[in-house]
Amino acid sequence: MKLNTPTISVFFFLISAHVKLLEASNNGDGVSIFEENEEPQIKRSDFPSGFLFGTATSAYQVEGAYLEDGKSLSTWDVFSHSGGCEENGDVADDHYHMFLGDIELMHSIGIQAYRFSISWARILPRGRFGKVNPAGIMFYNKIIDNLILKGIKPFVTIHHVDLPQELEDRYGSWLNPEMQEEFIYFAEICFKSFGDRVKYWITINEPDLYAELAYELGVFPPSHCSEPFGNCLDGNSDLEPIIAMHNMLLAHGRAAKLYHENFQPKQGGSIGLTVHSYMYEPLTNSELDCEAAKRAFAFHSGWVLDPSIFGDYPEEVKGYLGSALPIFSLYEKKFMKNSIDFIGINHYSTTYVKDCTNSSCSATGNRAIRGFLETTGERDGVLIGELTGVEGSYVVPRGMEEIVNLIKIRYNNTPMFITENGYSSPNVQEQQLDELVNDVKRIEYHVKYLAYLAKSIREGADVRGYFAWSFMDSYEWLNGYDVRYGLHYVDRQTLTRIPKLSAIWYTNFLTNTATPLIV
């Protein structure tokens, strides 16, 4: 069954019968006011005039064309073809061939920016040991030029999980300091090739989550782990995430130094780093759980942001990891400090935290690499928020304000972008097309999270943009999950893009014509 845009518009009007419509109240400046116990509402005019609204994707998740035009095998190509994966990104959304139509869809929504990543294996099939692939450069030039033609700002991530398999085979990728040289070489090619038009750069997407999933839990390539975190052929879950993180951070810092010194003066752009940022709340009011919640932030977002802003690891991480944690030299501390012009926040959910230093926890909670803490979505039999399609991820809108305010205070209100925020539909396999397209829950999610974001901005947080994850349903990393975050439904067989209600809502929101939708 196919639904066209007029049909979806009819759905949009139908759902108004099932929601409360609230009158907007404001303080005279067009900013909505709501108390914690009130249902929030939101309008585009609640945000500053220069605030960027966009959508986001990543290369492996949407491009497909995995061996076309000189591209080499990436780590994800190899991993997803292994026996442990049910799907792969060989075709994904075929964005490689359908990007012009996708950009037209973006333009029809009215977004001001599009965040995407560059496939390392498409630009440098053999890393710095081979030639630059001109077809790869041409592809991203076409994307950038057509975005600009439509008035959409390109917001580019240099490394979003995938890298040439040759670098894994040659070095063991991020476990080897040589990867720093590889990344700097790759980043410099990107700055030279695209920096005259790209004004927003992200070096590495979510180093904190990447290190955990690839080197602690083993569910991302190169699939390294050890007991009790998993049963992999190789790896040391207590040590390898620390090494990989250190190399990624130094690669970021050196690339940022290169950009600030050699490219930013002429190109006039900015460079940042993104973190996967849960908000952490103590399971109880005990001092130990409160300290554990603070420690949880330090062991995730802080592990990335403290070195990138202050030049060194958080004291909490140093204290618990001790001599296992590498040391930044004085020279490294100097170029790492203030190496970012903005912080990218990928925020989806909030969770409770329990201390494990003075109470019994699971085998994984009782480990230094986890900061001797455990997370849970349940307290006294009550979930922290509504379940989503991803285990451990809940709908907790207040977390958006809380995480932004925490980062604002800890990092002296460094400029921020919400580089990812989105809703994964649960029970996708049990739903019909009409249900998937009629995604009222996704609209509710964005409305509420945006309302709390606007509140944090009103209270002084320097947040400059928001990117909905994701522009369209795409290949998702978690094996065995049919997870759909997209504003556009993508038929897995025909690759037809169908705007969901959320795409229609976003369009209306961006033109200040969206009706506040609160269930």
Tens-digit pLDDT profile for residues 102-135 = 999 999 999 999 999 999 999 999 999 999 999 9
| CA pair distance 363, 278, nearest whole angstrom | 22
Taking the CA atoms of the chain, what radius of gyration do you get in angstroms? 22
Burial (CB count within 10 angstroms: exposed 0-12, middle 13-18, buried 19+), residue 258: middle
pLDDT of residue 481: 58
Give the bridge partners for 32, in sequence order: 26
Burial (CB count within 10 angstroms: exposed 0-12, middle 13-18, buried 19+), residue 481: middle
| Per-residue model confidence as pLDDT tens for the chain (519 residues) | 334 443 333 333 333 333 332 233 233 333 333 444 455 579 999 999 999 999 999 999 999 999 999 999 999 999 999 866 778 999 999 999 999 999 999 999 999 999 999 999 999 999 999 999 999 999 999 999 999 999 999 999 999 999 999 999 999 999 999 999 999 999 999 999 999 999 999 999 999 999 999 999 999 999 999 999 999 999 999 999 999 999 999 999 999 999 999 999 999 999 999 999 999 999 999 999 999 999 999 999 999 999 999 999 999 999 999 999 999 999 999 999 999 999 999 999 999 999 999 988 999 999 999 999 999 999 999 999 999 989 899 999 999 999 999 999 999 999 999 999 999 988 777 778 888 899 999 999 999 999 999 999 999 999 999 999 999 999 988 755 578 899 999 998 999 999 999 999 999 999 986 555 443
- Determine the residue type at 156: V
Find the Cα–Cα–Cα–Cα dihedral 193, 97, 85, 366, rounded to 10°: 40
- Say if CB 475 and CB 89 are below 8 A apart: yes
Instruction: Give residue-wise pLDDT tens across range 238-257.
Output: 999 999 999 999 999 999 99
* Token pair in block for residue 460: 């002084």
The residue annotated as part of the active site, out of 401, 420, 444, 476, is 420
pLDDT of residue 83: 67
Domains of the chain: residue spans and CATH? 50-511 (3.20.20.80)
- Report the candidate in 159, 163, 173 with the shortest Cα–Cα distance to residue 273: 159
373: three-class secondary structure by DSSP: strand
| CA pair distance 457, 417, nearest whole angstrom | 11
- Determine the residue type at 517: L
- 447 phi and psi, to 5 degrees? -60, -50
Going by the DSSP 8-state scheme, the letter that residue 157 receives in this structure is: E
Q: Is 206 a catalytic residue?
A: yes
pLDDT of residue 491: 92
- Say if CB 448 and CB 456 are below 8 A apart: no
Task: State how far the alpha carbon of 136 is from the alpha carbons of 181, 199, 203, 252, 373, in Å.
Answer: 21, 20, 18, 22, 44
- Determine the residue type at 6: P
pLDDT of residue 479: 59
Q: Which pTM was predicted? A: 0.91
- 251 phi and psi, to 5 degrees? -65, -45
Give the ranges where 220-262 is alpha helix by DSSP (H): 240-258
The residue annotated as part of the active site, out of 63, 168, 182, 206, is 206
Q: Is 420 a catalytic residue?
A: yes
